[in-house]
Structure 1
Amino acid sequence: MRVALFVTCLADAMFPDVGRATVAVLERLGVEVVFPPGQTCCGQMHVNTGYQRQAAKLVRNHVDVFEPYDYVVAPSGSCVGSVRHQHAMVARNAGDAGLADRAQSVATRTYELSEFLIDVLGVEDVGAAYPHRVTYHPTCHSLRMLRVGDKPLRLLRHVRGLDLVELPDADQCCGFGGTFAVKNADTSTAMLADKMRSVLSTRAEAVCAGDSSCLMHIGGGLSRLRTGVRPIHLAEILASTGSAG
């Protein structure tokens, strides 16, 4: 089984440890991981802001890069959601039925990390240890678009030493939403305040999620308030084997 790491723009540019952690978890489980260097942005931002023509070029590149692999895994429900729910549509709207078919084929082999671990590998205990009090925020794309359900929680419950605390109003958006946070800053800030209030009520040491974008938003707010609560990606917890982190 050859698995391609779809690292995503945000992990590549700002959170490289998330990509490294994803590889570490997969390799620990005996998976051969390949990093295709030709990968670029998946085009989600372009599609969401109305630039489908420009996105079509990114979809073609994505398909060309990832088509040869058995599976594609990304540490992001948001980007996997784009591949599954936007790529074929963008290609069809561009009048390229052949690319649409290829994009759909790649999409069926593309998984968010927790999905791949449980649905493909059939693993819930990845051999992780993280002795900290943690609460989990299910991001909107993973919750509503991918419908990963309780898969991340099932993985976290098998992490040795981890005290998993339920997050109140967990299904409420954190307010990031990509360009939403920029275009609707006041609303986004109010939503973030509600989310931070919920996080702080758990008295957790760390807040975990499967998307670096939401963690950046929540973590930024918590940092500005000097709460001491740190954001951590699911992959980083699953890659941990001790007290560090």
Structure 2
Amino acid sequence: MPVIGLGVYQNPSCKPACLAALQCGYRHIDSARSYRNEAQVGDAVRESGVSRGDVFITSKINKTVGGYRSCLDAIDDSLKKFGFDYLDLFLIHSPYGGKAVRLDAWKALLAAKKAGKLRSVGVSNYNVKHIEELVEEGLELPSVNQIELHPYCQQRPIVDYCRSRGIVVQAYSPLVRGEFGNPVLQEISTKDPAQILIHSSPLPKTQNPDRVRSNIDVFSFEMSKEDIEKLDELDRGKEGAVTWNPVDAD
């Protein structure tokens, strides 16, 4: 899975941003059924001239879908919209719905993976207790847990647990919806505060092709230990979240 991906949340006309991203070196696009732009992502990949095998595509099943059969149908519908034979990563978008719904959905994802429709499967917004349900059932663990993650909302217990289990933690909303005015960010930024945030958390979302190009230019500098410590001190726990962050769902 490429380190940095383009998020296309709230961008129903995402093809220009996707094309700009693919042209400047992105090889990961993160979509979801609820974003209503899977078809645009597929079109962008085909028009880009980049081989499908070189692009990592993620999508997610939304919280309103429950039941084993309906989850399998949703996966097939996503593949049809993208125009692809497989997806690289497919996630359960949230833990809403209760334990039985979560387990049914997870078993459906595992079945689709076994059938070759999904290369890898994971979850999003899962807390430790939600992943422990899978452990208790003796089921394969997620490859990825995608959570809101940035200096103001570091969710360290979830991160530490996932790392102990070999689950990749993938960050969404790393740009904190444009809240770049924090003095610490301004102090340690040599170019653009957004690049400091992306350096730590790799799924930036933007509709601006110029910003797409800037966001990937994050490997030309390194942050010092002191700078990282300053960012660590910005953590405000759950109060620092800027999105729905449903990690405490029953």
With the shorter chain as reference, the TM-score category is: 0.3 to 0.5
Give TM-score scaled by structure 2 length: 0.32
Give TM-score scaled by structure 1 length: 0.33
